[in-house]
Amino acid sequence: MTMPNFLILGAAKAGTTSIYRYLKQHPQIYMSPSKEPRFFAFEGETLDFRGLGDEKEADFIVTDIDAYRQLFKKVTNQVAIGEASTSYLYLAKSVERIKYYIPKAKLIAIVRDPAERAYSNYLHLLKQEREPLTDFAEALDQEEKRIQNNWWSFWHYKHQGLYYVQIKRYYDTFEKSQIKVYLYEDLNNNPLGMLKDMFGFLEIDDTFTPDISEKVRQAPRLPKNKALESFLNQPHPVKSILSPLLPASLKDKLVNKIRYLNRGQPKLSSAVRKQLIEFYREDILQLQDLIGRDLSQWLKC
């Protein structure tokens, strides 16, 4: 049965969902209906993640080869067949499994400023109300303990950003010609140029132009004042008094306006960014030599 001949390896929170949707539009590409089956990361394993809500994540992971092949049963005449599991870049055991099953596969990675990636990862789980710690620095301090307690890898905010170690594993295992590494900046600054290059790498029609007008995910807007957010969302004596005095349409507009003004996109503090840059510095310097890209912006506080 059919297996993929290319993979988007990650990184998480580096635009892989957008890339997945853009690639799906190309008539010569077949993408797995499940974006992240994560088969090569977890083949044959019994999953027992311990983080908050991790049991739901486990439901989407394919650990059986026959079930994995079923994801590609509707392939017809497409040339490039792929999927996009961000676990593959981070989890070392993925490399040998990919080499075993699809040794000639083309491998695509996209990497993002690791400090910003870590913070985006944290905000993602905070928005889902899974991350119990509202202080990012405190969450970073808990990372080693969470890893030891088998929390799913998405909680590994810092360690997922050690790209040199991760990409080097692939360079050590596959031919360099099989690997393509992009920057998140490429996607933001010139998405069509990046996609054209990607189509060329996959040896398909690079004149095709996908619709990139819809941004897949915006940075989450989180409540600035949690008490006000709770007041808007929960029953309250004051609301019961005011509610009959306002027309329903005006009341809804007012609530939505207040909710919008009370929400914002949190920024990574300069102190935590500085701490993370020092953690990543050597890895970043090694990575830019490995992939031949200038990553000096990632080292700025």
Domain residues for the domain of 233 are: 222-264
Same domain for 92 and 229, yes or no, is: no
Strands 222-223 and 263-264, by their bridges, are antiparallel
Could you count the other beta carbons within 10 Å of the beta carbon of residue 274? 12
Same domain for 161 and 226, yes or no, is: no
pLDDT along the chain (301 residues), means of 10: 96 97 98 98 97 93 98 98 99 99 99 98 94 96 98 98 99 99 98 99 98 73 58 55 58 58 76 98 99 98 90
DSSP letter at 207 equals T
Residue 257 in any domain: the answer is yes
Same domain for 112 and 146, yes or no, is: yes
Residue 296 in any domain: the answer is no
Rg (CA), the chain: 22
Q: Give the model's pLDDT for residue 217.
A: 56
* Beta carbons within 8 Å of 98's beta carbon, 6+ residues apart: 7, 40, 88, 105, 107
Same domain for 251 and 160, yes or no, is: no
Residue 270 in any domain: the answer is no
Query: pTM surpassing 0.75?
Result: yes
Dihedral sign, Cα of residue 162, residue 164, residue 167, residue 173: negative
Q: Give the model's pLDDT for residue 1.
A: 77
DSSP labels for 213-259?
-S-S-PPPPEES-HHHHHHHHS--HHHHHHGGGS-HHHHHHHHHHHH
Same domain for 164 and 241, yes or no, is: no
Q: Give the model's pLDDT for residue 233.
A: 61
Same domain for 29 and 108, yes or no, is: yes
Residue 211 in any domain: the answer is yes
CA gap 138, 147 in Å, rounded: 15
Q: With contact defined as beta carbons under 8 Å apart, do 161 and 118 qualify?
A: yes
CA gap 283, 161 in Å, rounded: 9
The residue written with tokens 């000096």 in the block is 296
Same domain for 28 and 133, yes or no, is: yes
Same domain for 254 and 198, yes or no, is: no
Same domain for 141 and 236, yes or no, is: no
Same domain for 243 and 139, yes or no, is: no
Same domain for 42 and 118, yes or no, is: yes
Number of domains in the chain: 2
Give bridge partners of residue 182 from the DSSP assignment: 110
Same domain for 164 and 51, yes or no, is: yes
